[in-house]
C-alpha cells in the first residue's frame, strides 16, 4: 500500500452559484480519486465544505 501524508492546509469552499453544488461535488469527487493527498469533508455544525491538501499551491490548483 502507498503512504499518503496527512494534509497540512484546509480551506472552506462553496459553489459560486446555488445550482453549481452538484457540479462542484462531482469535480471534487474526481479530484479525490486522482489525488490521494486531496481530501473533502463537510463540517457537521456549519455544513461548510472543507478541502484539504499539501499546501496553498496544491489547493489553488483545484
User: Where do we find the cell 489525488?
Assistant: 35
- Report the pLDDT value the prediction gives residue 61, as an integer from 0 to 100: 85
Tens of pLDDT, residue by residue over 1-51, are 789 999 999 999 988 887 888 899 999 999 999 999 999 999 999 989 999
- Report the pLDDT value the prediction gives residue 49, as an integer from 0 to 100: 93
- Report the pLDDT value the prediction gives residue 20, as an integer from 0 to 100: 87
Q: Record the pTM.
A: 0.84
* CA gap 30, 8 in Å, rounded: 21
Across the chain, how many H-helices and E-strands are there?
A: 2, 3
- Bridge-partner residues for 10, per DSSP? 52
* CA gap 29, 9 in Å, rounded: 18
Q: What are the structural domains, with CATH classification, of the chain?
A: 9-61 (3.30.70.870)
Quickly count: other Cβ atoms within 10 Å of residue 38's Cβ: 19
Amino acid at each position: 500500500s502507498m503512504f499518503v501524508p496527512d494534509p497540512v492546509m484546509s480551506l472552506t469552499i462553496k459553489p459560486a452559484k446555488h445550482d453549481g453544488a452538484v457540479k462542484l461535488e462531482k469535480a471534487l469527487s474526481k479530484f479525490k480519486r486522482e489525488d490521494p493527498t486531496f481530501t473533502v469533508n463537510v463540517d457537521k455544525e456549519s455544513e461548510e465544505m472543507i478541502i484539504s491538501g499539501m499546501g496553498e499551491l496544491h489547493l489553488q490548483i483545484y
